[in-house]
Amino acid sequence: MKLPSARLATSQSAPTRTLFLAQVRIARNRASQLRRRPAPLVLKGTLVILATVLVFGSTFAMFAVLFRGIALDTATTAIAAILGVLTASGFLGTTSLALQGLFLGSDLPFLRSLPLPLRSIYLLKFSATVIGTGAMLPLWLGVSSGVAFALGGSWLSALTIIAVLTAFIVSATSCSVIIVTLIGRWLPARHARVTLAGVSLCLVFAIAATTRFLAPQPVSISTPIAAGMFINPIARAGARLNDSPFAWAADAIVASATGDLPRLLRATALVVGGTGAVAMLAFLVFAAYFVVGADRYRLAGGPPARRTHSSPLVRLTRPLDNSLAALVWKEWLVAGRDLRRLSGAIWPLGLVVFYAISLARRGSPEAPMAAPFGFWLEAGPVFLLPWGMSLGTTFYAFGSERRNLHLLRILPVTAHRLLLGKILAALAPILVLSQGAVAVVAVAKAASLLEWLSLAALVAWTALGYVTIDTAAAAVAPNFDTDQLQRATGLPGRLFGLAFGGLFTLASAGAVAMLVILKAGPVAGDLPTFVRTSPFSWPIVLLLTALAATTVFICFKIGQHRVARLLQPAPPR
């Protein structure tokens, strides 16, 4: 005879199972649609496998070498620090995924209209968020497995690593759910977006500060290379994390590698128990505040009862012709009112602010390095800021169009114009913000006018380059079916952006570095003679500049070709 509780459990789990089965069927149907076009599927699969193997393999090898012969205590605290940094840096990504899935999902109204317990909806969305963080997994696995291998790991290590990392991902997602739900609960109806931006920036600062707190101090390159040169500073930072979940996880990994079973059981129990407690708390908070939070987030996305004021933004686009201007201001207005896109932008934006302040504070104009390269060594990294911003805003340019791709298809818009409109729309705010960062850094470093102008020109150039590359990347593999903004560009697009962005960075940085050295002339006495005196120095500068420009041009052309494909009528089969 079945117990009543067993029957109850079965009947209560049925809606959840039905929901998950529906998701499985949707995924299966999508896959069967993709199978009709085998070439892109094979290419995508190959890229995914290659990227996973590359990330896992390189981190595994690096950490296996770094941790060889390291004392167990040092290894434990070092792993704790590394896990802390990885968790902190991945945390905001998880938070925006949780916000987009649990509160802004387009299927939420439908799901809420069905006779489903809140628990079922929560489990579905929570799982989708956990799966969304999967991109970080090869990195985490590579680090943990490399360390375990270096310490003599066994099959027990593999099991422990899987358990610990699963627990970490669940914990991080649970923390994100708690934060997102609590923000939604107390989000004021008026000034909701400003409040959200403020809270998000505070979060970014807190996380960036944590990461910096855990990061090792820079190692002087004059120090002879010795065992533990890289690990010891990390371990010193990790010692601050004693009795935290990071320390328990590190303890479990090390204990599994050394076969210390009692220590392994104790540490694993702490990690799993802590995860269970956080997961339960997350659900309780969600269940208590979901309804009010969902309504407040909906209002924050665009106040339906409030009149819109778009004219100042529209006026800014007047120098452009009407149709190009329309594409630009449409993008600004839609992105500014779409909480999904805003939540994707807040992380890189916060980092930019943090980075600019950090650069401005680091060192001083009177430092010995001030002449002749001091300014460029300290302020030069500002040229990477547009890349950070572009990754958070431009990268979703096409996937975020979702169903409105069909509207663009029926409008008389060429691929060239649409791509240009997207680039200009993304470029303008990035240019303004990055030039603001340049000004802060230049003033803080007491830069000369020439240095300021040079840095401003460099940042303008990189902003144009990164935005063009990332917009093209967004056109290479757009995903129009996802609620999660981070998944609006598929892996081929991400790899495209990374490869061309990396090439552009190397070429631009190389050209600028050589220019600075050449301009310094004889005072650059410590530098290799060939850089200053070689007859090829100037041609190399020109070659690198041409390479950077060609990279941008090629990306624009590829992007234009891909957009033309997107706008084309569906081909006959």
What whole-number distance in Å separates Cα of residue 501 and Cα of residue 555?
A: 10
Task: Return the number of the residue (9 or 407) whose C-beta is nearest another protein.
Answer: 407
Please choose, from the candidates 169, 170, 118, the residue with its C-alpha nearest in 3D space to the C-alpha of residue 285: 118
Binds another protein by CB under 8 A, chosen from 330, 362, 532, 561 = 330
**The token pair that represents 47 in the structure block:** 């890229």
Minimum distance of another protein from residue 37's CB (angstroms):
13
Burial (CB < 10 A; 0-12, 13-18, 19+), residue 185, is middle
Closest separation in Å from C-beta 319 to another protein: 14
373 touches 516 (CB < 8 A): yes
Using CB under 8 A as the binding rule, whether residue 413 contacts another protein is answered as: yes
Tell me which stretch binds another protein (CB under 8 A): 139-147, 224-232, 325-333, 375-383. 325-333
Closer CB to another protein, residue 137 or residue 334? 334
User: What CA dihedral angle connects 419, 421, 425 and 431, to 10 degrees?
Assistant: 80
Cis bond before residue 372 (omega within 30° of 0): yes
Residue from 3, 226, 305, 449 touching another protein (CB under 8 A): that is 305
Q: Which is nearer to another protein, 252 or 327 (CB)?
A: 327
**Binding of another protein by 479 (CB under 8 A):** no
**Closest by Cα among 56, 266, 275, 261 to 156:** 261
Q: What is the dihedral of CA 447, 450, 453, 455, to 10 degrees?
A: -60
Interface with another protein includes 542 (CB under 8 A)?
no
Residues 160-189 that bind another protein (CB under 8 A): none
CA-to-CA distance for 157 and 79, rounded, in angstroms? 14
Per CB under 8 A, 337 contacts another protein: yes
For residue 489, the 8-state DSSP code is: B
Residue 34 binds another protein (CB under 8 A): no
Q: How far is the CB of 568 from another protein (least distance, A)?
A: 8
Single residue of 261, 411, 457, 499 touching another protein by CB under 8 A: 411
Question: Per CB under 8 A, does 35 bind another protein?
Answer: no
Please give the DSSP secondary-structure letter assigned to residue 394. Answer: G
Q: Decide: is 573 part of the binding site for another protein (CB under 8 A).
A: yes
Q: Is 420 in the site for another protein (CB under 8 A)?
A: no
| Residue keyed to tokens 């903004």 | 485
Three-state DSSP at 478 gives: strand
Show contacts of 102-108: CB within 8 Å, 24+ apart.
Answer: 102/126, 102/129, 102/177, 102/180, 102/181, 102/286, 102/290, 103/180, 103/184, 103/293, 103/294, 103/297, 104/297, 104/301, 104/339, 104/340, 104/483, 105/483, 106/483, 107/483, 108/294
3-class secondary-structure state, position 33: helix
Task: Considering the complex, state which of residue 2 and residue 573 has its C-beta at the smaller distance from another protein.
Answer: 573
Question: Nearest Cα to 176, choosing from 103, 248, 240, 242?
Answer: 103
The number of angstroms, rounded, from the C-alpha of 98 to the middle of its chain's C-alpha atoms is 14
17 is a site residue for another protein (CB under 8 A): no
Site string for another protein, 258-297 (x = CB under 8 A): ----------------------------------------
Does 412 bind another protein (CB under 8 A)? Our answer is: yes
Report residue 44 as tokens: 């995508």
Q: Which is nearer to another protein, 522 or 572 (CB)?
A: 572
Which is closer to another protein, CB of 32 or CB of 217?
32
**Cβ closest to another protein, residue 325 vs residue 474:** 325
Q: Does 39 bind another protein (CB under 8 A)?
A: no
**Other C-beta atoms lying within 10 Å of the C-beta of residue 135:** 17
For another protein, the binding residue among 23, 127, 166, 323 (CB under 8 A) is 323
Report how far apart the first and last C-alpha atoms of the chain are (Å, whole number): 57
Q: Binder to another protein among 30, 112, 406, 557 (CB under 8 A)?
A: 406
SS3 216: coil
According to the binding rule CB under 8 A, does residue 123 interact with another protein? no
Give the number of residues in contact with another protein, rule: CB under 8 A: 37
Query: Which range touches another protein (CB under 8 A), out of 167-175, 255-263, 306-314, 521-529?
Result: 306-314
Residue 561 binds to another protein (criterion: CB under 8 A): no
Q: Which stretch binds another protein (CB under 8 A): 183-191, 317-325, 490-498, 537-545?
A: 317-325
Instruction: Provide, rounded to whole angstroms, the least separation between the CB of residue 326 and another protein.
Output: 3
Task: Rule CB under 8 A: say whether 404 interacts with another protein.
Answer: yes
Question: Can you give the binding site for another protein, defined by CB under 8 A?
Answer: 301-308, 310, 314, 322-323, 325-327, 329-330, 333-334, 337-338, 403-404, 406-407, 409-414, 568-573
